[in-house]
Amino acid sequence: MNFKALNAAVVICGALVCSGAGAKELTIGFSQIGSESGWRAAETTVSKAEAKKRNINFKIADAQQKQENQIRAIRSFIAQGVDAIFLAPVVATGWNAVLREAKEAKIPVVLLDRDIDPSGKDLYLTAVTSDSVHEGKVAGEWLVKAVGSKSCNVVELQGTVGASVAANRKKGFEQGIAGHANLKIVRSQTGDFTRAKGKEVMESFIKADGGGKSICAVYAHNDDMMVGAIQAMKEAGLKPGSDVLTVSIDAVPDIFKAMAAGEANATVELTPDMAGPAFDAIIAYKAKGTTPPKWIQTASKLYTGADNPQAVYESKKDLGY
Ligand code: AHR
């Protein structure tokens, strides 16, 4: 890459987002997890659009949920000599060897939407993620308020086993309900962030409960699993959104559709635009040597039925997820 030209272009574009000529020559590889959820598909769509805005040559490798595919993709990006690698790590552990290879090849790595084990902290440049403990906490605190003083059996649908966001959202929710002995998590199992598994696991919870009548609330680590759980509850003759409270994470259009129909209660938004801030960090790093903060935190926002879910659905539905 012609760094001199890149530098000059960055100076010319000044305080504006340095897209166009300044970023033209960058090639970035993205090891994406797969398309397990609507949110994930949206992240891929938004990443492509953000790359296009900045004239970045963007290569996406879909790992179909498998860490070994992600490792293979990273090695291939290293062999191609890309300027940077984005990684959405399916699980938190097992990355150090391949990230060390990237570091030795002087290719900066940016984590998107999930973290890795702290032992790998020196092996990536920055992580663009939300505070996923906070997301779980917000969900738990919302439920505490919604339930009031009545006793409430909660069932939990966890994300992918070993994923940082699954562990954090569990921990945060437990913090959110801590000190409220009337709320109890009675069952908790992974639904792997997918609609199909969310439905399947919810069916098993309902069966184990002898019909689901003692389930007061469902907490799901993402909206897709909740959409599956809502289906399972309806098929079992339960009324999600009224008899059974729901709270989940992502804020994808379909959960707003369910909220507008009175079948879901709350969601915590996770922006699908993780790549935009990551591109900007890499452009500044490559052009001016600006080291980004170790954590670029994205915002989280709670939505409930009071937020005009139909209007939110209309505003989000064309975003491609
Ligand atoms: O890492 C972010 C999570 O991964 C999203 O909440 C979930 O939908 C996705 O699959």
| β 57-62/126-129 pair status | unpaired
User: Which ligand 1 atom is at minimum distance from the Cα of 164?
Assistant: 1
Pick the CATH number of 3-130+271-290 from 2.60.40.10, 3.40.50.2300, 3.40.50.1860, 3.40.640.10: 3.40.50.2300
User: Which ligand 1 atom is at minimum distance from the Cα of 39?
Assistant: 8
Q: Pocket of ligand 1, candidates 32, 35, 36, 39: which has the most ligand atoms within 8 Å of its Cβ, to mutate?
A: 39
pLDDT confidence of residue 320: 59
For residue 224, the CA-to-ligand 1 centroid distance in Å is 9
pLDDT confidence of residue 234: 98
pLDDT confidence of residue 27: 98
Between the alpha carbon of residue 188 and those of residues 133, 159, 184, 220, 275, the distances in Å are 17, 10, 11, 10, 32
pLDDT confidence of residue 54: 96
Residue nearest to atom 9 of ligand 1 (CA): 40
Homologous superfamily in CATH for domain 132-269 = Response regulator (3.40.50.2300)
Total-model pTM:
0.92
At residue 155, the 3 state secondary structure works out as strand
Instruction: State which H helix or E strand residue 72 sits in.
Output: helix 67-80
For residue 8, the CA-to-ligand 1 centroid distance in Å is 38
Which long-range contacts link 150-153 to residues 24+ away (Cβ below 8 Å)? Answer: 150/182, 150/216, 151/182, 151/183, 151/184, 151/216, 152/182, 152/183, 152/184, 152/216, 152/217, 152/245, 153/184, 153/186, 153/214, 153/215, 153/216, 153/217
Protein residues with CB under 6 Å of any ligand 1 atom: 36-37, 39-40, 113-114, 165, 193, 222, 224, 249-250, 270
Instruction: State which H helix or E strand residue 127 sits in.
Output: strand 126-129
Amino acid (one-letter) located at 37: S
For residue 288, the CA-to-ligand 1 centroid distance in Å is 32
Instruction: Name the residue among 309, 196, 197 with its Cα closest to residue 260.
Output: 309
Residue nearest to atom 4 of ligand 1 (CA): 40
Name every residue whose Cβ is closer than 8 Å to that of residue 60 and which is 6 or more positions away in sequence: 29, 30, 32, 44, 47, 48
* CA 211 – CA 96 distance, rounded (Å): 46
Residue nearest to atom 2 of ligand 1 (CA): 113
User: Which ligand 1 atom is at minimum distance from the Cα of 114?
Assistant: 1
Return residue ranges of the chain for CATH 3.40.50.2300: 3-130+271-290, 132-269
- Residue found by looking up tokens 């649908």 in the block: 157
User: Which ligand 1 atom is at minimum distance from the Cα of 223?
Assistant: 8
Q: Pocket of ligand 1, candidates 30, 33, 37, 87: which has the most ligand atoms within 8 Å of its Cβ, to mutate?
A: 37
For residue 28, the CA-to-ligand 1 centroid distance in Å is 22
For residue 137, the CA-to-ligand 1 centroid distance in Å is 16
User: Which ligand 1 atom is at minimum distance from the Cα of 88?
Assistant: 1
pLDDT per residue as tens, the chain (321 positions): 433 334 433 433 432 344 444 445 899 999 999 999 999 999 999 999 999 999 999 999 999 999 999 999 999 999 999 999 999 999 999 999 999 999 999 999 999 999 999 999 999 999 999 999 999 999 999 999 999 999 999 999 999 999 999 999 999 999 999 999 999 999 999 999 999 999 999 999 999 999 999 999 999 999 999 999 999 999 999 999 999 999 999 999 999 999 999 999 999 999 999 999 999 999 999 999 999 999 999 999 999 999 999 999 999 987 655
pLDDT confidence of residue 65: 96
